[in-house]
Amino acid sequence: MMKIGSRRAFIQKMGVTAIGAPLLSNVSDLMAMQKMHDAAGTLRVAIMGLGSYGTRVAKAMQTCERAKLVGVISGTPSKIAEWQKTYDIPEKNCYNYNNYGDIKDNPDIDAVYVITPNALHAPHTIGVAQAGKHVICEKPMAINAKEGEGMVAACRAANVKLLVGYRMHFEPHTLEVIRMRKANEFGKIMFFQGQSGFRIGNPDQWRLNYDLSGGGSMMDIGIYSINGARYMIGEEPIWVTAQETKTDPVKFKKGIDETIQFQMGFPSGVVASCLSTYAVSHLDRFYLNGVDGFAEMQPSTGYGPIKARTHLGRMDQPIVTHQTVQMDEMAKIILDGNSPEVPVDGEEAVKDLRIIDAIYKAVKKGKKVML
């Protein structure tokens, strides 16, 4: 039975006056109202793809205030059973890749986070949208811009939101650098450098399978420097040039880029010089230079802790679990209609995909490609 004190607190929380309180005939009615309130304020999420990153997101969601893991979609029955036990997921919220369309009849799931290999993002996102559920898709959202545009159109037609896992768009150090740039604390921006890379291991993993990944380092780690250049500079690029280096053609087969150096030009004259690689470790650095100051982040996009400094000294923003903050903020976007400082919607993701398309084209042609 609910205690009087907690009952009174709940009534006050719900905005019910003392005069209106007697209308709540019994504790059952009160509990029903509490359940409705909780449901309205919590984004109930199913994760599709129970690999290493899906596991990281699931663990991070345990401390979310506005998002809750309630379901799973996987092609591996043993993983489903393990997640059910670990996260207390009911059988009715468990699906596989053949029957996940049935979530349309499940009112306990609001959104699905698609964390499958890149080439599966489009069909899975469209399938979820057609089932009437909001979609959160891991980046890169698709393997090319045309595919991404189709995903945006499908979600719009189904009247569901399409968000993308740009966790850095909510990271405190990142947001402070953006604030400083908008406040002109760096002066006129002149240059950006983005370095994104690590030495990839198992040669049999899906990231090195073109049919699943759609590319190599650029489709995995390189997107961070592309997206980071855009939000750090605050402009959209108008041209790209790019050069590819491949030292191990056995491991990095046709279509799988090992290392790409690329440059982007922006309307104000700013140039971004970036590196994406699967061959060099400890590359995780952003550097933004203006006539009056600079910002350097290293690590800049890793899982943390992010470390940064500016011409004013060391930055000391809060250290957060990126995926926890991301999911809470995405709940606010979907449930409350919030607009984040840096967009995380499908249209934002298509902009990155157009740049990736242009980079691959520049590598092939060996010359500047206009956007």
Architecture of the domain spanning 42-164 = 3-Layer(aba) Sandwich (3.40)
Catalytic residue among 95, 224, 231, 360: 224
Catalytic residue among 133, 139, 161, 332: 139
pLDDT of residue 36: 39
| pLDDT value for 304 | 83
Residue-level pLDDT at 343:
98
Contact 117, 212 (CB under 8 A): yes
Question: What does the pLDDT read at residue 40?
Answer: 53
pTM of the entire structure? Answer: 0.89
Q: Environment class of residue 50 by beta-carbon count within 10 Å: exposed (0-12), middle (13-18) or buried (19+)?
A: buried
Q: Is 139 a catalytic residue?
A: yes
**Residuewise pLDDT in 10s, the chain (371 residues):** 343 333 333 333 333 333 233 333 344 443 443 443 344 599 999 999 999 999 999 999 999 999 999 999 999 999 999 999 999 999 999 999 999 999 999 999 999 999 999 999 999 999 999 999 999 999 999 999 999 999 999 999 999 999 999 999 999 999 999 999 999 999 999 999 999 999 999 999 999 999 999 999 999 999 999 999 999 999 999 999 999 999 999 999 999 999 999 999 999 999 999 999 999 999 999 999 999 999 999 999 999 899 999 999 999 999 999 999 999 999 999 999 999 999 999 999 999 999 999 999 999 999 999 99
Task: Say what the pLDDT of residue 27 is.
Answer: 43
Regarding the domain delimited by 168-320+346-370, which CATH topology (the fold level of the hierarchy) does it fall under?
Answer: Dihydrodipicolinate Reductase; domain 2 (3.30.360)
Rounded to 5°, angle at Cα 188 from 182 and 194 = 80
Residue at 98: amino acid letter:
N
Determine whether 188 is an active site residue: no
Give me 63's structure tokens.
């401390």
SS3 content of the chain, % helix, strand, coil (to 5): 40, 20, 35
Please state the domain extents for the chain: 4-40, 42-164, 168-320+346-370
3-class secondary structure, 235: coil
CA torsion sign for 333, 338, 342, 347 is positive
